[in-house]
Amino acid sequence: MPSEFELIDRYFRRPTRHTELGVGDDGAIIRPTPGMELVVSTDMLVAGTHFLPNVEAEDLGWKALAVNVSDMAAMGAQPRWALLAAALPAATESWIEKFTRGFFACADAYGIDVIGGDTTRGPRNLCVTIFGEVPQGTALRRSGARPRDEIWVSGKPGRAALGLAHLQGRAQLAEPQLSDCLAALHRPQPRVALGLALRGLASAAIDVSDGLLADLGHILEASGVGANLQIAVPPESAFEREALLAGGDDYELVFTAPAARHGEVAALASTLELALTCIGTIAAGVAGHIDLCDPDGHPIAIEHRGYDHFG
Amino acid sequence: MPSEFELIDRYFRRPTRHTELGVGDDGAIIRPTPGMELVVSTDMLVAGTHFLPNVEAEDLGWKALAVNVSDMAAMGAQPRWALLAAALPAATESWIEKFTRGFFACADAYGIDVIGGDTTRGPRNLCVTIFGEVPQGTALRRSGARPRDEIWVSGKPGRAALGLAHLQGRAQLAEPQLSDCLAALHRPQPRVALGLALRGLASAAIDVSDGLLADLGHILEASGVGANLQIAVPPESAFEREALLAGGDDYELVFTAPAARHGEVAALASTLELALTCIGTIAAGVAGHIDLCDPDGHPIAIEHRGYDHFG
């Protein structure tokens, strides 16, 4: 096994494009763009909780960064820099090679410089910190939703949860749905372009990591409002309904925007070639409360909203 | 057990002093000071590798942040913001209460806003990311050491390693040394004031986390130089010698400065009430090579330089 420092040199040090000093000192040095605010976020991925122990290392590398990129998308920030801290069991070099290949593929896809990190021995744990930039005062927050705003969601949430259920033997998917759902699970595509386009348009935004209803709930609580949702849920399968409403790990965006700007949001769907579905409206009333019905107005009971790591 | 979100509200969310948006959204928002560069670093602490499983939670909280503060000190940066990601086994609330008490005590001691993080279930793992500021171009790097520069070290390295050896039954310390060494191990005091004072004075700097010789070695390699050291090692104890030369976890600073500025460095010792010892000079020659002798000029063999997580 090479030393910690040989591993860093071989797999974690790559040329940077917009960084003063990258991997290799006590800290990295970046020069924020004048007039921009910095948005920062960190996410920790643990084997067994966030990924299956037998996941492909390259997929895991992609996803470890992608879930952080998604936080930038949800804030309307342009992702710029990332740090990677990794605890690894007696790691084989081939695992590290594949993992970093996926990680840097995601970094390249989103224009991110990987500027530092930490490697240590321990139960597998990946902690990524990401930095993005946003013009002062324009970040998308959870707290801006107002009564009568429309509620939108991008893409098709629930696919990652279905893919996971298939892998765990709790569901049986057929092609082409299987490949689609596994791609959503293993190679999430954070909605950065959407997040940037929503600056000055959306009143609030969040990404769907814990489940559609759970994450919408965070917007509602932060904004002190409720919601009336009309969602077309698959009638034939309680399981698909659960995945749609409470499945995590999709990294789509849920956001709110004034009803008067419905056309602008709808136009983004074709510009970005991304489904954007209006699923309801913000209501005055109890903060966090959600009334859910199908498109015909029949109430749907909510069993649970999503994932809670300590619940 | 409260939910993840209740835990965050109760223990991880505190008022901030210089932050646009702290804990509670997809990302935190900070506004870097114009004209300053941002120095960023991340460190991951794993039970069994970086701390004993039975360590006091409050000490661990202090140390998890302090080791990151030390990276800022080594760069000459003023620490300003931190993120905390934590994987916890079925954590008791009392553990979290104590841990966060120590963590925020360190944050308060160094004027740091804790602006976000992540909590998840898993084998205990703490990953802290820290951000500091430094005027453009003034950060202390590892790569600036030049032949004939003097090599200095702050404080008394080796105390943390001795404290750890005592706890592990590999050494038997008596008071008052025991308390002194346990304090060094559990409550390291990062040398931020020293790091700030060394801007424009030191040619290179690093903090002693892996061991005095190992970390000096990083300066030598980054600078393409060697070193001649004269160190007064305790003659009576091979163990204390090993702790001094190769013991990690002290978070003192090792730095180099031009010999012409010896007096300025020496004067800092009294200003800061901190021992600063000149332990040798930088030599041209093989990058990373260290010649070590005692103050009488007798060569001392180097058995190993410090800690390598994968070696």
User: pLDDT tens digits for B242-273?
Assistant: 888 888 889 999 999 999 999 999 999 999 99
CB contact under 8 A, A4 and B310: yes
Query: Considering the domain boundaries, does residue A142 fall inside one?
Result: no
Q: Residues B253, B194: contact at Cβ < 8 Å?
A: yes
Chain A residue numbers with beta carbons less than 8 Å from the beta carbon of B206 are 26
Interface of B with A in 150-169 (CB under 8 A): none
Per cent of chain B over pLDDT 90 is 62
Query: Considering the domain boundaries, does residue A72 fall inside one?
Result: yes
pLDDT of amino acid A233? 75
The mean pLDDT value for A38-45 works out to: 93
pLDDT of amino acid A235? 62
**Claim to verify: residue B126 and residue B170 sit in the same structural domain:** no
- Does residue B311 register a pLDDT over 60? no
d(CA A174, CA B145): 63
* B156, burial (CB in 10 Å: exposed 0-12, middle 13-18, buried 19+): middle
Judge whether A197 is closer than 8 Å to chain B, CB to CB.
no
B210 or A271, which is more confident?
A271
- Does residue A25 register a pLDDT over 90? no
| Closest CB to B116 among A42, A48, A308 | A42
CA angle A231, A236, A241 (to 5 degrees): 45
- Pair of tokens at residue B194: 């020293």
**Claim to verify: residue A49 and residue A131 sit in the same structural domain:** yes
**Claim to verify: residue B193 and residue B160 sit in the same structural domain:** yes
Chain A residue numbers with beta carbons less than 8 Å from the beta carbon of B130 are 27
**Claim to verify: residue B154 and residue B44 sit in the same structural domain:** no
Judge whether B21 is closer than 8 Å to chain A, CB to CB.
yes
Q: Return the minimum-mean-pLDDT range out of B32-36, B117-121, B182-186, B264-268.
A: B117-121
**Claim to verify: residue B181 and residue B268 sit in the same structural domain:** yes
Element (H, E) at B153: strand B150-154
**Claim to verify: residue A225 and residue A161 sit in the same structural domain:** yes
Chain B residue numbers with beta carbons less than 8 Å from the beta carbon of A5 are 308
| Closest CB to B31 among A77, A132, A136 | A136
CB contact under 8 A, A122 and B47: yes
Chain A residue numbers with beta carbons less than 8 Å from the beta carbon of B26 are 41, 71-72, 74-75, 142, 205-207
d(CA A252, CA A189): 8
**Claim to verify: residue A174 and residue A288 sit in the same structural domain:** yes
A177 Cβ contact list (under 8 Å, min separation 6)? A162
| Closest CB to A83 among B20, B31, B42 | B42
How long is chain A? 311
d(CA A262, CA A184): 27
| Closest CB to A41 among B26, B40, B131 | B26
Binding-site sequence positions of A for substrate: 50, 249, 307
pLDDT of amino acid B119? 86
**Claim to verify: residue A181 and residue A130 sit in the same structural domain:** no
Strand order in the sheet with A290-293: A204-207, A253-257, A150-154, A276-283, A226-230, A290-293
Please tell me which of A16-20, A238-242, B88-92, B192-196 the model is most confident about, judged by mean pLDDT: B192-196
- pLDDT band with cut points at 50, 70 and 90 for residue B91: low
Q: Is B43 within any annotated ligand binding site?
A: yes
A230 Cβ contact list (under 8 Å, min separation 6)? A279, A280, A293, A294, A295, A297
- State the CATH number of the domain containing residue A114: 3.30.1330.10
d(CA B128, CA A44): 11
Q: Is B209 within any annotated ligand binding site?
A: yes
Question: How many beta-carbon pairs below 8 A join chains A and B?
Answer: 228
Expressed as residue numbers, the domain containing B207 is 150-293
Q: Is B296 within any annotated ligand binding site?
A: no
d(CA B191, CA B205): 12
- Does residue B310 register a pLDDT over 50? no
- Does residue A309 register a pLDDT over 60? no
Q: How far is B148 from chain A, CA to nearest CA, in Å? A: 22
CB contact under 8 A, B27 and A47: no
Tell me the pTM.
0.89
Query: Considering the domain boundaries, does residue A236 fall inside one?
Result: yes
Quick count: other Cβ atoms within 10 Å of Cβ B51? 21
Interface of B with A in 115-134 (CB under 8 A): 115-123, 125, 127, 129-132, 134
Query: Considering the domain boundaries, does residue A118 fall inside one?
Result: yes
Q: Is B41 within any annotated ligand binding site?
A: yes
Q: Is B195 within any annotated ligand binding site?
A: no
Query: Considering the domain boundaries, does residue B256 fall inside one?
Result: yes
Q: Residues B208, B86: contact at Cβ < 8 Å?
A: no
The mean pLDDT value for A119-129 works out to: 91
**Claim to verify: residue B288 and residue B168 sit in the same structural domain:** yes
Query: Considering the domain boundaries, does residue B305 fall inside one?
Result: no
- pLDDT band with cut points at 50, 70 and 90 for residue B276: very high
Which residue type is seen at B90?
A: A
pLDDT of amino acid B1? 61
ipTM here = 0.86
Q: How far is B164 from chain A, CA to nearest CA, in Å? A: 19
Element (H, E) at B120: strand B113-121
Q: How far is A216 from chain B, CA to nearest CA, in Å? A: 12
**What does DSSP assign to residue B144?**
G
Interface of B with A in 39-98 (CB under 8 A): 39-44, 46-50, 71-72, 74-75, 77, 81, 83-87, 91
d(CA B186, CA B192): 18
CB contact under 8 A, A3 and B91: no
Q: How far is B24 from chain A, CA to nearest CA, in Å? A: 9
B105 or B301, which is more confident?
B105
Judge whether A7 is closer than 8 Å to chain B, CB to CB.
yes
pLDDT digits (tens, 9 = 90+) for A56-97: 999 999 999 999 999 999 999 999 999 999 998 875 888 889
Residue whose tokens read 């960064």: A65
Chain mean pLDDT for chain A: 89
Chain mean pLDDT for chain B: 89
Query: Considering the domain boundaries, does residue B142 fall inside one?
Result: no
- State the CATH number of the domain containing residue A256: 3.90.650.10
**Claim to verify: residue B235 and residue B118 sit in the same structural domain:** no
**Claim to verify: residue B8 and residue B128 sit in the same structural domain:** yes
Chain B residue numbers with beta carbons less than 8 Å from the beta carbon of A96 are none
Q: Residues B244, B234: contact at Cβ < 8 Å?
A: yes
A163 Cβ contact list (under 8 Å, min separation 6)? A173, A178, A181, A182, A183, A184, A185, A186
- Does residue A1 register a pLDDT over 70? no
pLDDT of amino acid B52? 77
pLDDT of amino acid B188? 95
CB contact under 8 A, A46 and B131: no
Task: Tell me the Ramachandran region of residue A72: left when phi exceeds 0, alpha when psi lies from -120 to 50, beta otherwise.
Answer: alpha
- pLDDT band with cut points at 50, 70 and 90 for residue A306: low
Q: Is B223 within any annotated ligand binding site?
A: no
**Claim to verify: residue B180 and residue B53 sit in the same structural domain:** no
Domain total for chain B?
2
Query: Considering the domain boundaries, does residue A143 fall inside one?
Result: no
pLDDT of amino acid A264? 97
Interface of B with A in 271-310 (CB under 8 A): 308-310
Cα pseudo-dihedral A252, A257, A263, A266, rounded to 10 = 0
Which of A46, A43, A194 shows the shortest CA–CA distance to A130? A43
